[in-house]
Structures are given as structure tokens and as C-alpha cells.
Amino acid sequence: MKLSIIITHHLTSKLLDLCINSINKTIGGLKHEIIVVNSESKEKDEEFIKDKWQEIEIISFKKNTGYSKLVNTGIKKATGDFILLLNADIIVLENTILEMINYLEEHENVGIVAPKLEDYIGNLQISCFSDPIPSIILARRTFWGKTKKGKKLLEKISVLHDNNLAKEVDWVQGSAMMFKKDIIDKVGFWDERFFMYFEDSDWCRRVRKKGYKVIYLPTAKMVHYYHRSSKKFGVLGDLIFNKYARIHILSAIKYFKKYGFK
């Protein structure tokens, strides 16, 4: 058995260093490889990684190619039976990797398993959700989300999980998830029409469509240095000044065009 760890990286070399350190401290004797897929690569970052981590394979793109392309590039290079997909701002905690592998091995009908994510002081980050619906975009990006009805909708779409039992969900964040590599043969690669945002919900939906479950496993834990780059200036300000907000909305349009509005 071999694990391929794919780390998607974009201009956060210090966090990447912490991520790799955490993997090496917790991986034990498990046979594995680490593949860093580097977007908008800087020469100094590449040199830093290569000098410190000679055993790591680095694939670099000079331009920001989008998240789905980074993931697909890593998957095509991977030689493991299992794939752990991580953002560079994830810290892996003790026993998490083995627990996720064991869960996949013990449940053949599970396509994806994802850990519980916390911030660096232990606060829960909601990372599993119901399928997106158009009104959720409205609730997240306008004052309506602060109303009673808007708040209720946000709570409904975000799967709040208050115990340590594994839970079947619609989709999980792509920032940390594990799956068997052979599921790619059945489901296909990530949809590169999604430059950023909605690519993870899209792929989880396709996994479910093939009859597999998406599982949130809260006993497996990781730390996520999460930064919400698509929301900074308010509704109108984000649309004018924040390119990530515009990308988010364009991805939402592509998603609902693909699946409809239900």
C-alpha cells in the first residue's frame, strides 16, 4: 500500500514548509510520496523547497493555472493506491492519515473521506456542506445573510456536526480530502472549467452520482490556516475590486448551468 500526498501551493512557502513538516512528523513508516504542484511559481520558492526537501517532487506552473488543473496534474503524477489532497496551509495532526486510510479500506462504498478542520487555536471550521443552491450565494454575499431567514439558510447548507461520529454529507472542502486513486477511472478528473471555487462540490457530486458516499470523519483532525480571499470589501466593493469574488460568482454560474437550480 502506498499513499500519494498532493499539496497544491500558491505563493505561501512558509505555510508549505509547516505543512510538509507536519506530514513528516506524523506519517510514521507508511510508504508514501509527496508531490507539490506549484502555481504562479517563484524561483526562490522552488529553490527553498528543493534545498530543504530533496525527496519531494515539484511540478511548477509559471502562471496561476487554477485549482482544478493543479489537482489533476498531481493525480496524473501520483503512483499511490490512495491520494491525500491538501492545500499548503494545512497542518496534519497525529494519527489522522492512518485513520482516513483505514476508513476507506473498511468501507468500500465510500469514495471520499475528509477530516475535521480547526483553526490554529482549536475553533471549528465548517468544511462539509449540502449541495449548493443559488440562494446561498445571495446569503453569503449580501446583507440578506444577516437576516433571520438568511442565517437559517446558511445554517441549513453548512453541516454542523456536534459529535465524533462519521457523517455522510453532500460535499467537503478540497483543502483536505482522501480517496482511492482508482476512483478516478470511474468518476474522471476534476472539471478544469472551474478555475477556483465549486470545483470540490462539483467533484463530490460526481462521486456521489457514481454511487459512492462522501464522508466527514471528525475523529481525524487537521489544522487549516484559512483565509477567505473572496470577501473583503462588501458586496459592491468585492465585485469591483476583488477578483476572487468575481471568480467565485463566475464559478457559481458555471455550477448552476451544469446542474440546474435544484
SS (H, E, C) the chain: CCEEEEEEECCCHHHHHHHHHHHHHHCCCCCEEEEEEECCCCHHHHHHHHHHCCCCEEEECCCCCCHHHHHHHHHHHCCCCEEEEEECCEEECCCHHHHHHHHHHHCCCEEEEEEEEECCCCCEECCEECCCCHHHHHHHHCHHHHCHHHHHHHHHHECCCCCCCCEEECEECCCEEEEECCHHHHHCCCCCCCCCCCHHHHHHHHHHHCCCEEEEEEEEEEEECCCCCCCCCCHHHHHHHCHHHHHHHHHHHHHHHHHCCC
Predicted local distance difference test score (pLDDT) of residue 158: 62
Predicted local distance difference test score (pLDDT) of residue 26: 96
Predicted local distance difference test score (pLDDT) of residue 232: 44
Backbone angles phi, psi at 67, to 5 degrees: -65, -45
Burial (CB count within 10 angstroms: exposed 0-12, middle 13-18, buried 19+), residue 174: buried
Predicted local distance difference test score (pLDDT) of residue 237: 39
Q: How many domains does the chain have?
A: 1
Predicted local distance difference test score (pLDDT) of residue 157: 59
State the cell numbers at 45. Answer: 520558492
Predicted local distance difference test score (pLDDT) of residue 238: 41
What CATH number is attached to the domain comprising 37? 3.90.550.10
Predicted local distance difference test score (pLDDT) of residue 52: 81
Predicted local distance difference test score (pLDDT) of residue 146: 65
C-alpha 136: how far from chain center: 19
Predicted local distance difference test score (pLDDT) of residue 145: 56
- The chain-wide mean pLDDT, for the chain, equals 84
- State the pTM of this model: 0.85
Which amino acid, 251? S
Stretches where the chain sits below pLDDT 70 are 134-162, 226-244, 261-262
Predicted local distance difference test score (pLDDT) of residue 91: 97
Beta-bridge partner residues of 8: 37, 87
Strand-strand pairing, 32-38 and 3-9: parallel
State the cell numbers at 4. Answer: 500519494
Predicted local distance difference test score (pLDDT) of residue 230: 39
Predicted local distance difference test score (pLDDT) of residue 131: 87
Q: Could you list the residue range(s) of the whole structural domain that residue 162 is in? A: 3-259
Predicted local distance difference test score (pLDDT) of residue 10: 84
Predicted local distance difference test score (pLDDT) of residue 159: 62
